[in-house]
A and B are shown apart, each in its own frame.
Chain A
Amino acid sequence: MEATLTAPHILQPAKTERDFRTENLSIYYGTYEAVKGISLPFPEKSVTALIGPSGCGKSTFLRSLNRMNDEISGSTSKGSIWIDGVDINASGTDVIKLRQKIGMVWQKPNPFYKSIYENIAFGPKYHGVKGKKALDEIVESSLRRAALWDEVKDRLKESALALSGGQQQRLCIARALSVNPQILLLDEPASALDPVSTGKVEELIKELKEQLRIVIVTHNMQQAARISDFTAYFYLGQLIEYGMTEKVFTNPENTMTQEYIMGRFG
């Protein structure tokens, strides 16, 4: 199996101030190396899809991008994550500040047990936004950006848990947008949703990529093909292939990628 792996083809864009990429990033759980020295760029105004069979390290990789793995005891990492010319994987990084730049949405919708309004206002309140008017504006604009405003504008004080699953997930996206991040990490955001809600979330992702960078982990090949600009195929913690989505899906360089995309394994 190992022998068939060809060296992954990595695009190396010029380093700029607005750069966001990983460099030789390895992540360990104890001594187990879950992600093995991955270098990946995340170009501006684009969606990058991370695909691969379960346990390939793509979620771990995604979680490391906003240092969420810090919350897991025994998890350590090597290598760099560059954002705006700063290595955020270095010790001494202000993780709290960093996470304002990088929003995250999980597989299962997980609104706080609060009102719709409070769910959105939660983050901004901690970042010093004061006054009802300012918060009202953020709530409205975040909900609009998540294409949820029209559905909930008359029930902002109601519990977020009263919303449907699809609405809850868009609320979580709106919540992530509330702190105005530059990057949005999505961990299988539509896998717990029905097809209609999935369609809405995908529509939303396409719109949002005009404003920020999006990294999405997905098990749904069609979804990756539909919404992403770049695709990275992970296997056993290694990056097997990376490139333009069109290229990866129509003419992959690696046979393993091809087999996975065709559904022959994984």
Chain B
Amino acid sequence: MRVQNNETMRVQSSKSRIEKHHIEDLVGRSYMSFCVLLLIVSIVSMVYFVTSRGISTFAIDKVSISDFFFGTTWSPEGDHPSFGALPFIAGSFITTLLAALIASPLSICAALFMTEIVPGWGKKLLQPVIELLSGIPSVVYGFVGLSVIVPFLRNVFPGQGIGVAAGALVLSVMILPTITSVAVDALSTLPRNLKESSFALGATRWQTIARVIIPTTLPAIMTGVVLGMARAFGEALAVQMVIGNAPFIPTSLFESASTLTSVITLGMGNTTMGSPHNNALWSMALVLMLMTFLFVFVVRMLEKRRSI
């Protein structure tokens, strides 16, 4: 930034007229700074808003933190309201983990199929399918879940069909494209001669996949799994349509339950701003937000590991 002596003279001589490219540079820089500032302000104010609202459950309504996180009774209205959010927290975690468990192996296999087994037409065929899957609105997933998965579960298993299993299945299909596309990216950036080194030692394709390709790309694939989990955790509409929305901790996969998101979307419109019920919903939103931060943090850690 420091201007050299002879350059100072040159700059002084042209001081009278500000050159065009300087103005362009200034305008561009100001515009960029404005955009970034806007972004930062909106994120910070959103975090602040959710946090301040979320905290008021504990600060203003004097609900104890342990009652909120570990209480199992949710009856926010009435004379003796109770704000136990554990059923929803548990519901969110259970459906998310189940969805990840179902979707991860399928996605990884799909990605391997597209990159290792049949890189030609496999990729040509599946890539658009995967992209299409990620573009379908969540209400459509929920609707399909409600009209296909729920009746199927009702016929095959005990219970009403709606419940944790239905929610997890719908979510697993929804996060399939996320995990698959991250896994495909990870697999296709793998140096080809790393695979070939394994072949050159006389390893079979399967041995190479199991012992070289998957271990090498695992951190990146896990990034995809975590991103998928983040999506599952935050998904509201589709889950709400099939999970049954009962405020209880489910004891079986085929029982109705609720998630943090489903209870927020159902409750938000029916409460008045600032009421204890409303504040409790904000607290759950805060939990969701913190979980998202955690997912982002985990992804960061995985990427760090990958670069070693």
Contacts and interface: CB of A to CB of B under 8 A. Distances in A.
Interface of A: 66, 68, 71, 73, 96-100, 102-104, 106-108, 110, 112-114, 122-123, 126-127, 159, 161, 172, 175-176, 178-179
Contacts of B211: 122
A59 to B, nearest CB: 11
10 contacts: A66-B200, A71-B196, A71-B199, A96-B202, A106-B196, A122-B198, A123-B202, A126-B203, A172-B197, A179-B202
Interface in B203-229: 203-204, 207, 211-212, 215-216
Contacts of A107: 193
Contacts of A179: 201-202
A112 B202 contact: no
Given A66-B200, A179-B201, A112 B191 contact: no
Given A99-B200, A112-B198, 9 more contacts: A97-B202, A103-B201, A104-B196, A106-B193, A112-B212, A112-B216, A113-B216, A122-B203, A161-B308
Contacts of B202: 96-100, 123, 126-127, 179
A104 B196 CA distance: 9
A107 B207 CA distance: 24
A161 B215 CA distance: 14
Interface of B: 119-120, 191, 193-204, 207, 211-212, 215-216, 308
Contacts, number: 67
A99 B205 CA distance: 13
A172 B193 CA distance: 12
Nearest to A100: B202
B196 A68 contact: yes
B215 A113 contact: yes
Nearest to A178: B201
A52 B212 CA distance: 33
B216 A176 contact: no
Given A73-B119, A112-B212, A161-B308, A99 B201 contact: yes
Most chain B CB inside 10 Å of its own CB: which residue of A99, A113, A172, A175: A113
Contacts of A68: 196, 199-200
B178 to A, nearest CB: 24
